[in-house]
Amino acid sequence: AAKKEGRGRAKSFDPSMLESLEQRELLRRSLRMALAQQQFFIEYQPIVESGRIFGFEALLRWRHPLLGTITPAAFIPMAEADGLMPEIGAWVLEQACREAMKWPQNYTVAVNLSAAEFLTSGLTDRVSHTLDLVGLPPDRLELEITESVLLERTVNNIDTLNTLNVLGIRISLDDFGTDYSSLSYLKTFPFDTIKIDRYFITDLESDLKSQAIVRCIVNLAHDLQMRVTAEGVETPEQAKWLRSIGCDRLQGYLISRPLSVEAIGEFVTQAETSLGQMLP
C-alpha cells in the first residue's frame, strides 16, 4: 500500500514555515525559475462513475530541489500574486492533455483554471489551439473553475464559457458550496458538472445538515441537467450514502490518492476488480 500511495506524493510544505522575509523571497525567486527548470509535474486523481473510471483530475506539484515536493496551496497564491499563473496554467493544460493522450482509454482529463488564466484574454483560443496541437478531442477535456474565478456574471465571462461549451469542452464548478454559492451562477453559466466541496462530505455520517445540503445540491443539479461529483470521499459509508441519493461521481482517497502519471496504467488495470470491492 505504501508503494501505491506513491513516490513523489506531495508533502505539505508550508511557506509560512519560512521565518524570514529573505527565505520567502528566495522561494519566490525559485518559483520564477521553476518552469524553465522543469520542476513542475502533475499527479492525477481518479474520478469514478457507477463503479467505473470516468476520468482523472490534474493536480499540479512543484518538486523543489531543496524543499522537496510542494503542494499547490502553498505556491499557487504566490504564483498568482507574481503574475506567473497564466504561464504555469498554460503548461499544466498542455502537459495534462499530452499525458492524457497516452492513457489506455479515452478518459476525461480535468484541469483546474486559475482566475488569472480565466481573465487573460484569448483563453478560448489558447485552449482550442492546445487541443489541436496535442490532438486531444475537446470532449475529453473538462475545465474546473471556482466561483471566485467568475466573480461576476459579466458578458465576457458568459461569452467565454459559452464558447468553450460550443467547442465541446465541459466546464465544472469546483468547490461548490464554499465560496459565494450564488445560485444565479447556476442559472447563467453552462456548467456540465458541479463538484461538491469536501467540507460537506467529511462529516456526512454524523451531520444531518451536511446531508440535507448535499441532497439538495444533487437534486438541484439534476433538475438543471447537470452532473454532480462529490470531492474528498474517504469512507465506504460516505460512498454508499452518496450513491443512495444519486450522486453521479465520486472522488477521494477512498478510491485513490492522486497518482503519478506512471501509476495510471496499473490503477486502470486493477480498477475493474478493485473498484467493485471498494465501492459499496
CB of 220 to ligand C2E, least distance (A): 20
| Beta-bridge partners for 112 | 144
Q: Please identify which residue in 5, 14, 26, 73 interacts with ligand C2E, judged by CB under 6 A.
A: 73
* CB < 8 Å & 24+ apart, contacts of 79-85: 79/31, 80/114, 80/115, 80/116, 82/28, 82/31, 82/32, 83/116, 84/31, 84/32, 84/35, 85/114, 85/115, 85/116, 85/117
Whichever of 155 and 191 has its CB closer to ligand C2E, that residue is 191
The grid coordinates of residue 239 equal 460512498
Instruction: Please say which residue, 22 or 78, places its beta carbon nearer to ligand C2E.
Output: 78
Residue 84 interacts, among Mg ion, ligand C2E, none and using kind-specific CB cut-offs from 5 to 8 Å, with none
Q: What angle do CA 16, 253, 47 make, to 5 degrees?
A: 110
Binding to ligand C2E by residue 76, rule CB under 6 A? Answer: yes
Q: Which does 252 bind (CB under 5 to 8 A by kind): ligand C2E, Mg ion, none?
A: ligand C2E
Binding-site string for ligand C2E from residue 211 to residue 240, where x marks contact by CB under 6 A and - marks none: --------------------xxxx------
Three-point CA angle 39, 43, 49, nearest 5°: 165
Cell numbers that stand for 38 in this block: 522543469
Site for ligand C2E in 100-119 (CB under 6 A): 112-114
The reply to whether 175 sits near ligand C2E by the rule CB under 6 A is: yes
How far is 105 from 99, CA to CA, in rounded Å? 12
CB of 49 to ligand C2E, least distance (A): 16
59 binds ligand C2E (CB under 6 A): yes
234 binds, among Mg ion, ligand C2E, none (CB under 5 to 8 A by kind): ligand C2E
- For ligand C2E, the closer CB: 113 or 173: 113
72 binds, among Mg ion, ligand C2E, none (CB under 5 to 8 A by kind): ligand C2E
Write the single-letter amino acid at 230. A
If the CB atoms of residues 187 and 221 are measured against ligand C2E, the closer one turns out to be 221
* Under rule CB under 6 A, residue 256 binds ligand C2E: no
Closer residue to Mg ion (CB): 26 or 73: 73
